[in-house]
Amino acid sequence: MTQRLGRADAISWALVAVALLVLVFAPLIFTNFFVSVILTKALWLGIAAASLIFLASYAGMVSLGQVGMYAVAGMMFANLVAADGGLDAAWNPWIATVAALLLATLAGLLFGAVASRSEGIYFLMITLALGVIVYYFFAQVTQLSGFGGVNSPELPALVGNPGDDPVPLFYVTLAASVLVFLGIRYLVRTPFGLAMQGLRDEPDRMRALGFNVTLHRTLAFAAGAFIAGVAGVLSVWYNQRISPGSIALGQTIDILVIAVIGGLYRLEGAWVGAIFFALLDNYSREYTPNIGEVLGPERFNTLIGVIFLVIILVSPGGLVGLWEKARERIGPSSGGRRSRAGPAGEEELAPGGSAVS
Amino acid sequence: MEALPGTQNLPKLLGLAAALLIVGWLLVKGAGDVKQFTRVTLNGLTLSALFFVVASGFTLIFGLMRVVNMAHGSLYLLGGYLAFEIQKAWFTEESEGLNLSLASPTGSASEYGLFGWLVPLLLACLLIGVLGVVIQQLFLRWNQGEDLRQALITIAISVIMADQMLAQFGGIAKDVKPPSSWPESITLFGVQYGFFRLVVVTGAALAIGLFLWWLIKRTRFGLIVRAGVDDREMVSALGINIPIVFAAAFFIGAMLAGFGGVLGGTMLALEPGEDTSFLLSSLIVVIIGGMGSLGGAAIGALLLGLVDAYADVYLVFGDTDLTNYSILLTFALLIVVLAVRPLGLYGRPA
């Protein structure tokens, strides 16, 4: 960047730096409970949401199949290591992790090949169908999912036992989040990433230039599946179990809610949304008033559904979108449109609309 | 799409080969036990009929408005629950004898007349239709064209509805009772089969199919709908009140979901999760058949229902029982159709 950083940009980066600093020293600042239940959970949920945002913002593909990919990786890991239920293959946890990520990527290639010829809202529907099919697959095949889940899988020694000491897993998840964030920022600057953004904005023109549209979209989906796979494996490390119930449509919607709350076209929004979600998930149950049977501590899904609805209605850019609106008032940004914006402007949920019409 | 010479027809050939393989496999399996084959086929056909009723509403709404109504499954389930509640509140009459029998938990102690089923059905359909219009007017009317935002809005509505239904109706499976005067089963091709599934559900699906065909091809309303599918702005410019047409289409589409819910609630059961299940089947039906196409929905429902039914029974090879992998065949069906026709069998570029 040759331009001088604008004031608002400087504030943005300062915020990211402060957030990172707070996270690095989090185990000293917060209780173990908070580090585990809020921060660690938010970090891996953020990775899952980042895979969705990555596809939505850079490839123009809003996928609801990310939990399907995450499920493949998580289930595979849980089955390959020594665990209670499932195949119980007793592989080394690290080898199992690599194998699980590989398989998720392969599944991503297959699913991507199926879905990539469709665009916009069709793509959304097909990936949703694929994601739900993965859920039904694991729900039916009890050889893989145990009866009611695969429990207490063996974890890498590095992570230790998160139940006793959540700090190592927290740092592993933090490192994975930073790597995923930087990895995506790097990937979108490579020729492949640029082609992907070209396909998002002008598929016909790119086709005329000789780019294989379907292939690029398929590869992008596979990359998204890999990222989702990272979240899937981390979720198993965090929960120390995986069951069909944890990869059902509800989880797909949670990840979507996180992505939309954070802002569907801003990568950092994934973790902002995830923190918000984890806080809400944990603390709303204490403070939600009982209103008949309509609202109360038991009705978390109603609460999250209403918040989700309000955000889509009021600020399609999510929380980060609100921040960017505020930023425009603080001062001009540093010239040059950022590549991470959605194709048809900052505030619209547009790729579907433009692709189908 | 670029392709190597001679490979353009590859997907089609693969699809054909897969179809032949499946037919051959069914013939081999079916010849062994004809009665079972008939029963399984009837299972598939009646399931298809239910899928068609639900998916036809979904595809109608999408065809006209380009709205993917992700709350369609929730409307289905709520329709069933409403009929259940109305039937329980208004039509349950204790027959003589103590209603304490643990042996018949399905509640055979209660008798339901014809109206005890028809009135809940009609009321539930009406209420769901009205609810659909309310959703459309409140949340979808002003953002026409932003299809992703609309899909997300309906997802949010489905989350809220699912949670509220869980609060109101609990997690225990419920079912709507058919009129007691209807026979339990009838005999067809030497096989005893459930009367409600075979006659009522299939009949309703055929009637709805014919009605929608008549409505869309033969009436002024249908003319406007078809014109609206092709060019909304032009139809509007010609002086047609498009908002009213949209509301009417949403009413009918939602009503069909509710109708499906009552049929499904009588034929199968109502419980949390059925909303997802029927959203998925509607999605697959219209992805296979082509979004917005009624004929496509019929073919898609038929394929999905039959694949479901056959895979549940015939995925047994010697001693290896693969029936719990049956969902993979649904997946394969989706892959084969999308490989040959990316927009579905009858899909057209929008």
Question: pLDDT digit string (tens) for A178-210?
Answer: 999 999 999 999 999 999 999 888 888 988 998
d(CA A222, CA A158): 28
Rounded distance, CA A175 to CA A296, Å? 36
The answer to whether the CB atoms of A348 and B153 lie below 8 A apart is no
Q: Is the ipTM here above 0.90? A: no
A349·B148 Cβ contact <8 A = yes
| Residues in B touching A313 (Cβ below 8 Å) | 139, 153
The answer to whether B131 faces chain A, any CB pair under 8 Å, is no
Q: Are B267 and B45 in contact (CB under 8 A)?
A: no
Any CB–CB contact under 8 A between A130 and chain B?
Answer: yes
Whether the predicted pLDDT of A344 surpasses 70: no
Select the residue from B74, B144, B147 to test the A interface by mutation, using most A Cβ atoms within 10 A: B147
Are A117 and B153 in contact (CB < 8 Å)? Answer: no
Looking at the domain assignment, is residue B224 inside a domain? yes
The answer to whether the CB atoms of A294 and B164 lie below 8 A apart is yes
The answer to the question of residue B329 being in a domain is yes
Beta-bridge partner residues of A241: A151
**Interstrand relation of B191-194 and B316-317 (parallel, antiparallel or unpaired):** unpaired
* A301 at interface of B, judged by CB pairs closer than 8 A: yes
Distance from CA of A292 to the nearest CA of B (A): 10
Q: Give the CATH number for residue B335.
A: 1.10.3470
Which pLDDT does position B254 carry in this prediction?
Answer: 96
Q: Is B322 on the interface with A (CB under 8 A)?
A: no
- Judged by CB atoms closer than 8 Å, whether chains meet at A114 and B157 is answered as no
Q: HEC string of chain B? A: CCCCCCCCCHHHHHHHHHHHHHHHHHHHHHHHCHHHHHHHHHHHHHHHHHHHHHHHHHHHHHHHHCCCCCCHHHHHHHHHHHHHHHHHHHHCEECCCCCCCCCCCCCCCEECCCHHHHHHHHHHHHHHHHHHHHHHHHHHCCCCCCHHHHHHHHHHHHHHHHHHHHHHHCCCCECCCCCCCCCCEEEECCEEEEHHHHHHHHHHHHHHHHHHHHHHHHCHHHHHHHHHHHCHHHHHHCCCCHHHHHHHHHHHHHHHHHHHHHHHHHHCCECCCHHHHHHHHHHHHHHHHCCCCHHHHHHHHHHHHHHHHHHHHHCEECCEECHHHCHHHHHHHHHHHHHHCCCCCCCCCC
CATH of domain A7-356: 1.10.3470
Whether chain A has a CB inside 8 Å of the CB on B138: the answer is: no
Query: A347 at the B interface (CB within 8 A)?
Result: no
Instruction: Give B-chain residues touching A118 at CB under 8 angstroms.
Output: 338, 342-343
Q: Taking CB atoms and an 8 Å limit, are B280 and A356 in contact across chains? A: no
Q: Is the pLDDT of residue A110 over 80?
A: yes
Of B66, B139, B283, the CB nearest to A129: B283
**Minimum-distance CB partner of A126 among B145, B151, B287:** B287
> B66 — contact with chain A (CB < 8 Å)?
yes
CB contact under 8 A, B66 and A214: no
* pLDDT score recorded for residue A5: 57
Determine contact: A122 vs chain B, CB below 8 A.
yes
User: Cβ–Cβ of A122/B291 closer than 8 Å?
Assistant: yes
When scoring B14, B69, B152 by the number of chain A Cβ atoms within 10 A, the one with the most, hence best to mutate, is: B152
Contacts of A299 in chain B (CB under 8 A): 163-164, 167
Q: Which of B156, B334, B350 sits opposite A129 (nearest CB)?
A: B334
On whether residue B317 sits in a domain, the answer given is yes
Residue A260 touches partner B, C-beta closer than 8 Å: yes
| Residue B266 forms part of a structural domain | yes
Among residues B96, B117, B119, B118, which one has the least CA distance to residue B108? B96
Rounded mean pLDDT for each run of 10 residues along chain B, 350 residues in total: 55 76 80 84 93 94 87 96 91 57 48 85 96 94 85 93 91 88 83 87 94 90 82 85 88 96 92 90 91 89 92 79 82 83 78
Residue A346 has pLDDT above 80, yes or no: no
Nearest C-alpha of chain B: how many angstroms from A212? 8
Question: Is B230 contained in some domain?
Answer: yes
pLDDT for A55: 94
Q: What is the pLDDT of residues A114-156, one digit of tens each?
A: 888 888 888 998 999 899 899 989 988 888 887 778 888 888 8
Interface membership of A215 toward B (CB under 8 Å): no
Whole-angstrom Cα distance, residue B326 to residue B322? Answer: 7
Domain count, chain B: 1
Residue A151: which H helix or E strand, with range?
Answer: strand A150-151
Find, among A12, A62, A68, A45, the residue nearest to A350 by Cα. A62
Please check whether residue B145 touches A, CB under 8 A: yes
- Mean pLDDT, chain A, rounded, equals 84
* B4 assigned to some structural domain: no
What is the spatial distance between Cα B179 and Cα B200, in angstroms, rounded to a whole number?
11
Model pLDDT, residue B11:
67
- Contact residues on chain B for A293, CB-CB shorter than 8 A: 167-168
- Could you list the residue range(s) of the whole structural domain that residue B239 is in? 22-92+110-340
CB contact under 8 A, B287 and A301: no
* Residue B308, token pair as written in the block: 């479901």
Q: What's residue A335's pLDDT?
A: 42
Q: How many angstroms separate the CA of residue B121 from the nearest CA in chain A? A: 26
Q: Cβ distance B270 to B72 under 8 Å?
A: no
Residues A277-308 have pLDDT tens digits of 999 988 887 777 777 777 777 788 898 899 89
